[in-house]
A and B are shown apart, each in its own frame.
Chain A
């Protein structure tokens, strides 16, 4: 009911979310990049990070997308959802593609036909979690292909344990090298089914870099992985340096007793995300990551 009442509002909000996401970075990401630039010991790496920071400033100033790969669009929606919400999101994406503009990235997987709107079968990808809230909360994660193409899934044996998980994460980051536009944020999903592990890895990217994992053991694992991955020397853009990752975000789910799925979803330095909460009276609250309940 909320949805039908505020259909146009949802479309407006989606355009605004995409504009915020692609033209400015969340403060936690900018802060992490600045800190990295001040700490780098390699001249080439410092120059890469300076170029990134200059580019972020220029995009913000000119209100244009910071990266030409404005991604395909993953939406996370909580609250009362009916079919019209999905329709409003889809029309919001098409409008944003024209108005901002976004690059028309959505193509048929085999014919490569491009409808030019970023709206087609399966895209934007909308994940819905039903809640009893009266408000609707929408988070968008525009995902570029450079980092998305490095996604990896392993169905480990339970006997591989935490060592197997760490080894797989390290191998994935090393194999990706400079291709996912490091410094990256490493999204990790452990457990679930194969598809759930991949979803968890991506959704883990929504947690800001300055918000520690609520599970102390996972928080320690994230810190250990961050430190270790930065010892690889891959560096910004794979040109060498001390900053390969800005952080590691781990999410878990229970899994089959005979399974240990682990998925890695890398996020380039342009870690774009934006959230809005729409209340039944039409008020809208904007932010850069899902709000606390």
Chain B
């Protein structure tokens, strides 16, 4: 019983840290984009504008929480909850350090993939339930994009599974004690990263919400708290993909010896995740958005063969004893 209470406490702490962190990420992103584009960004609320997210939250809470009369009410309310919940659930299997982590599931990697594939319902249902043309187009794009990129995401991590022999994320990290998997799985990492951006529909792959052509895509009709939930889902998604990349390819909380003693493992994990999050933001700042057919074609013509060749080569090298 005490064990269960302890777990509940751990979960509460993790959620209580993750959600404000996602909110802070909005500010970090706007500031960083500002710096990279040679302008200031939000710098008025608090020192360096650090309270900007708080002000945004207050503003969003003050907005009318509107359910359009022409929408499918129940599904309309359910959609943002599904989107945010699936991403939050994925954090249950992320090993933050050797002791911190909600569940040590034996099929942790599969659980992550399952939650990633369920998260698309949030977007698709939002698009359908809004009963508006822009939202519907956004939802359809999201469905096609996510189903395609899910395939490569699954294939790209199979190389990691092959080398570590486990679906358990903690064991995958421990297997990298004498060398991160990025060395042998660089192509896998690239594919995972691109698929991850597509799954969390961030720029440059934010076709489902492309504001130049679809107003705001699937969340055109959303306002107030429900809109905030979509935002929360997106920024949690960025954090999740970064955390999973760190776990799968960058040795999780592990560091090579002289560095390892400088900081506790959990801090190393956070540092690595933040570096990858910054990289995500840099990608968003610098890359243009492709056309939708280009996006899908790129996926099936370039990414799929690449992922398969990577898997085959890894398997062959593994069998011949090189890796």
Partners in one complex: no
Chain B interface residues (CB < 8 Å from chain A): none
